[in-house]
Amino acid sequence: MTAPALAAAGPDADPRRAALVRIRIIAREELRRALETRWLFAFTALFALLVLGLSYFGLAQSRELGFQGFARVTLSLMNLVLMIVPLTALMLGVTSVAGSGEGLALLLAQPVGRGEVLAGKYLGLAVALAFAHALGFGGGGVVVALNGGADQLPGFIVLTLLSLALGWVTLAAAIAIASIWPDRLRAMSAALMLWLAMAIAYDLVVLGATALLSGVPLESVLFPALILNPVDVVRVLTTLAVGSGALFGPTSAVVMKMFGTAGGIALGSTVLIVEGAVPLAIAWRVFRRRDW
């Protein structure tokens, strides 16, 4: 990022326009750096290979090889998405802020507000995740559509969009973590603990709570648990949007019973927005007060 570019945006007559220019400059530089990292391309290639592999080898147990439609791909890919995407977004956000050394200090020394730095970093990384999803899911999806047909394509598109939304939410959490713990080792440890809690331990805790509170209505346990975990929210939203009974679990059934399909989708979408906004608000509050 060039200091003259940021400085040139400073004396603009319109403060709001100048702030948007500075945010755009920071976001563009953050996007460039993210796209230069090899592991982001590895993430993109991984999802393209998963889409193609699940389609081509989906019936390998029946000794049938060949591209299958999107129904099988969506069903098989969902659980992998819920594991890989949050971890990728968490690592991407943490490494951008925590342990960035003199680069962040030099940026903050420029005529730019801390809120603008935070917004630029988040937007740049969010666009990088969008590129990775577009290339990984999109490239693999095009091959599947050409060879296996476009049946059930809307379900695959929904999964792709919800995967990106999950990435943006966990990216916000990563930036909040890195703002609270600037040391990269501590921040990455906290991010890994959050991932383990969301993707693995959370279901076990909910199952244990359901068993212990066997006399309590199921809705009283599953509904509060749902709104606390973005991974679970995306899982439920996918099942509601795709509408496949094979995907429905107890949480999805509870949401269907309480709100119906349209109401459940609206509720889940609102929860995701809140779960992304709250960590960003925390990050902004900590980031602007910390001595970097």
Q: Which of 8-17, 118-127, 148-157, 205-214 has the highest mean pLDDT?
A: 118-127
Alpha-carbon distance of 9 to 225, in angstroms, equals 46
> Above 60 in pLDDT, residue 232?
yes
- Report CA 98 to chain centroid distance, whole Å: 19
Q: Which of 8-22, 97-111, 249-263, 277-291 has the highest mean pLDDT?
A: 277-291
Alpha-carbon distance of 290 to 70, in angstroms, equals 48
Band of pLDDT at residue 104, cut at 50, 70 and 90: confident
Alpha-carbon distance of 52 to 173, in angstroms, equals 31
CB contact at 8 A, 169 and 268: no
pLDDT digits (tens, 9 = 90+) for 259-287: 777 888 888 899 999 999 999 999 999 98
What is the pLDDT, as a whole number, of residue 246?
Answer: 47
Residue extents of the structural domains in the chain: 3-287
CB contact at 8 A, 209 and 199: no
Alpha-carbon distance of 153 to 70, in angstroms, equals 6
CB contact at 8 A, 77 and 168: no
Phi-psi region of 81 (alpha: psi -120 to 50; beta: other; left: phi over 0): alpha
Structure-model confidence comparison of residues 142 and 202, the more confident one: 142
DSSP 59: T
Alpha-carbon distance of 34 to 129, in angstroms, equals 9
pLDDT digits (tens, 9 = 90+) for 53-97: 888 776 555 555 667 778 778 878 888 889 999 999 999 999 888
